[in-house]
Amino acid sequence: MRAVAVFPAERRTALVDHPEPLLERDDEVLLEVLDVGICGTDLEIARYEYGTPPAGSPYLVLGHESLARVLRAGAAATRVRPGDLVVTRVRRPCPRPECRACPRGRPDFCFTGEFTERGIKGRHGFMTERIVDEERFMHVVPARLRDVGVLVEPLTIAEKALFQVWDVQARLPWTAAGTPAGSGHGQRAVVLGAGPVGLLGALALLARGFETWVYSRDPAGGTKARWVDSVGAGYLSSATTSLGQLAERVGSVDLVYEATGAAGIAFRALDVLGVNGVFVFTGVPGRKTPIELDGSGLMRRLVLENQLVFGTVNAGADAYDAAVEDLARFDARWARPLRALITGRFAAEEAPRLLADPPPGIKSVVTFAERG
């Protein structure tokens, strides 16, 4: 069957003939892949800067943002049935019993670094016609989300980040007490970056009642700015608005959700974080030349203003469940803008070209099956 694969040693990305997966165990499920999203990590892998094929394989099948349909479920599978739509988690636990996270089902917090990731590190991904995986890694997606279900995985980044934000902000008694768990009402958030992770993050924040601003390099009045406006957030372009002006315009910022992967802008944006604020890093920058920072100023503010900065990667089962629920909420409230995030659908044959020369737009999706 067809698969999109990267050969790191040969520095080549191609459509290959990949062996059919077999349903070998009772707790496994055979899936027909429908959609696979392309993200920055895939582009990095296709530039041969990241990613590891499974042991013994010259190539890595790409793809970790998936939506698939259940074809056949092993006898011990209880949650999924043939025909169900599912999204499968990316990361798999490391083999080390001493890892405090993996044996507890949280490889997204793996201590040893020996975790694997489908389509990224040591395991083939989802950019192929059929896959087999264990049922426990799958999350059922309602049929009405067929055309946007592929956005679940990128949305899990925001979901995991927000779980952690609630945990740390429980330190502020007035935030925790008396408000529905996880409510962002009355709080102000700035999203840095208007890629898929940023824009999905903005929807997650809006859905929780945050006053939400998106700051990115795309021009004011452009497509992204109009998208942001259409969902009820504010848009400021870094081309015409400095961070100082942003601070004046927005006021005290309770949360900065970074989704640019660019250290220069991200660290400078720490200046706009308000008292008791939280700054979340989600972007993974390439290895670039060092940037200069005012360390003392930063440290002063972190201490004197009780600020918190954290990074977050990957996601656990709870974040996938939350992402599926949120996507249904977004669908009810922002049906059109949600769909507008997917700016291109392409056949598998086109994937090598897309990976080498990504089209402009927000989210490109490689489609394996006929829509329906």
| Residues that bind ligand BGC in the complex, under the rule CB under 6 A | 39, 41, 64, 90-91, 117, 120, 313-314
Picking from 37, 30, 41, 38, the residue whose alpha carbon sits closest to that of residue 1 is 30
Picking from 145, 146, 120, the residue whose alpha carbon sits closest to that of residue 32 is 146
Task: Read off φ and ψ for residue 141, nearest 5 degrees.
Answer: -115, 130
- Asked whether 308 and 279 are in contact (CB, 8 A), the reply is yes
Please tell me what DSSP assigns to residue 52. Answer: B
Q: Which two tokens stand for residue 124?
A: 């083939």
Min separation Cβ 123 and ligand BGC, Å: 11
- By C-beta, is 115 or 213 nearer to ligand BGC? 115
Beta-bridge partner residues of 328: none
Please tell me what DSSP assigns to residue 173. Answer: H
Min separation Cβ 200 and ligand BGC, Å: 12
317-333 and 152-169 are packed helices; what angle lies between their axes, rounded to 10 degrees?
110
- By C-beta, is 244 or 286 nearer to ligand BGC? 286
Min separation Cβ 154 and ligand BGC, Å: 7
- By C-beta, is 170 or 284 nearer to ligand BGC? 284
Picking from 164, 181, 152, 156, the residue whose alpha carbon sits closest to that of residue 279 is 164
Please tell me what DSSP assigns to residue 305. Answer: T
Min separation Cβ 276 and ligand BGC, Å: 29
Burial bucket for residue 333 (CB in 10 Å: 0-12, 13-18, 19+): middle
In the chain, which residue ranges form alpha helices assigned H by DSSP?
Answer: 40-46, 152-169, 173-176, 196-207, 223-231, 243-250, 263-269, 295-304, 317-333, 335-340, 351-356
Min separation Cβ 161 and ligand BGC, Å: 12
3-state secondary structure of 109: helix
